[in-house]
A and B are shown apart, each in its own frame.
Chain A
Amino acid sequence: MLKAFFQKKLPTFELEINFSLSNGILALVGPSGAGKTTILQCVAGLQTPSSGEININDKIVFSSEQGVNIPIRKRRIGYVFQDYALFPHMTVEKNVMYGKPQKGSIPNKALTVSNVLEMLKIEHLRNRYPNQISGGEKQRVALARALMTEPELLLLDEPLSALDQDTRSTLQQELLKLQVQWQIPFILVTHDLQEAEMLGNQIIKLDHGKQEEIRKFDVAQ
């Protein structure tokens, strides 16, 4: 369960957001510069809101009132960057392994790299380097790397924007499946309303940092 209400002063406008998400996919949609990525970065801890509170599974990760700002690495949030941000000097396997929790610190599931690679259909790429694989494959590796840390929330920053239509459609379906499999909330940033409608159980339209429209659909828990 994610609850977030915060403000963030930006050079040209003030971002104001208030939403909650228990499961399913929240799609943040809006034009470039509307503040979508800033919201993800504030939730992840890469940026600090000016005021407000962010609560993940009843744990406050940021609160201006209480002076809480938990560091990024302790928030247990998976983040898939728009440009994938894979480590270019590591193989696919090492990329995916990089954030794997140490033995003993995994609370529930015993995840193996092979499981995750297999789930995302990239097992055959395990010894390749990022510059040897396609955009769609890079996206799967970035997803695998984020999931390997067993996050409580997954943030996806325009994950499909750089892909061709076919790869995009395939990955859209796989994202839906992954969400059902993992049962954690996803926040997806996109500027494509059609994509937001297809993937989002909840849609927030943003313009100049303000929430314009919220649509909610039923989510199977």
Chain B
Amino acid sequence: MDYTPLLISLRAAIIATIVTFFLGIAAACFVSGYRGKFKGLIDGVLTLPLVLPPTVIGFLLLILFGKNGPLGKLLMSIGKTVIFSWPATVIAASVVAFPLMYRTVRSAFEQIDQNIINAARTLGVSEWKIFWRITIPLAWPGVAAGTVLAFARALGDFGATLMIGGNIPGKTLTIPAAIFFAAESGEMRKALIWVILIFIVSLIVMTLMNYWTDYQRKMIATAGRK
């Protein structure tokens, strides 16, 4: 049996989680501090991948990264193409996972007592230092929870990945796609193996991340309580 779908899925999910970790925090930081009239619109656009069908996201990515699309043309000019290549699986997973990271972190940022941030400001330290030393540690349970959710979503994506990455074995065929195509062609045993495998991988990763999140939460919320 070819195990490349496992490696392709894990690679896409891990890289997408890293990408959404930073982009999600940056977007959450910007939106929670933004007071302009476009806040609702910006939030809507950033949350859109969560509510749109994955095939719609895949279709939009196909237009964007296709050979006639704006990003596709740009990449072509430097001799690169992402459609039906492994980076496509990462892009699709990142886009569908992003809103989960963004929304969870934004909610965590907005729950921080503003007086604590203001207190830090009166102490003469820079906004950058406040962000890394106060905001991020206090929002850490939310950041960790967002990371868990983003990883889960990235690992399980099917529609968007299939649209932009296709199902090239050993290149872009992820576990969810492998299950679909195995079941469609009547290879139920093969499909079941993939189902069990993704079940085990997801459970292990989720459990480890949950313990880690709990540990972080305890470290922050009840720091030093003995």
Residue of A nearest to B130 (CB): A73
Chain A contacts for B224, CB-based, 8 A = 91, 127-129, 131-132
Q: Does B121 contact A (CB under 8 A)?
A: yes
Residue of B nearest to A145 (CB): B123
Q: Does A31 contact B (CB under 8 A)?
A: no
- Cβ contact within 8 Å between A87 and B115: no
Chain B contacts for A19, CB-based, 8 A = none
Chain A contacts for B115, CB-based, 8 A = 81, 83, 85
Q: Which candidate, B5-13, B43-51, B154-162, B215-223, is the interface stretch facing chain A? A: B215-223
Asked whether A81 and B223 contact (CB < 8 A) given A73-B125, A99-B124, the answer is no
- Cβ contact within 8 Å between A87 and B134: yes
Q: Does B185 contact A (CB under 8 A)?
A: no
Residue interface bits B175-212, CB-to-A below 8 A is 1, else 0: 00000000000000000000000000000000000000
The main secondary structure of chain A at its interface with chain B is loop
Chain A contacts for B123, CB-based, 8 A = 73, 98-99, 145-146, 149
B121 contacts which of A46, A86, A89, A146 (Cβ < 8 Å)? A46
- Cβ contact within 8 Å between B222 and A44: no
Number of chain A residues whose Cβ lies closer than 8 Å to a Cβ of chain B: 29
Q: How far is the CA of A98 from the CA of B126 in the complex (A)?
A: 11
Residue of B nearest to A73 (CB): B124
In the A-B complex, list the 3 residue pairs whose CB atoms are closest, starting with the nearest.
Answer: A99-B123, A85-B119, A79-B122
Chain A residues with CB under 8 Å of chain B are 44, 46, 72-74, 76-79, 81, 83, 85-89, 91, 98-99, 101, 127-129, 131-132, 142, 145-146, 149
Chain B residues with CB under 8 Å of chain A are 113, 115-116, 118-126, 133-134, 137-138, 219-225
21 CB < 8 A contacts A-B: A46-B121, A46-B122, A72-B118, A72-B121, A72-B122, A73-B123, A73-B124, A73-B126, A87-B119, A87-B120, A87-B134, A89-B220, A98-B120, A98-B133, A99-B122, A99-B123, A101-B124, A129-B223, A132-B224, A146-B122, A149-B122
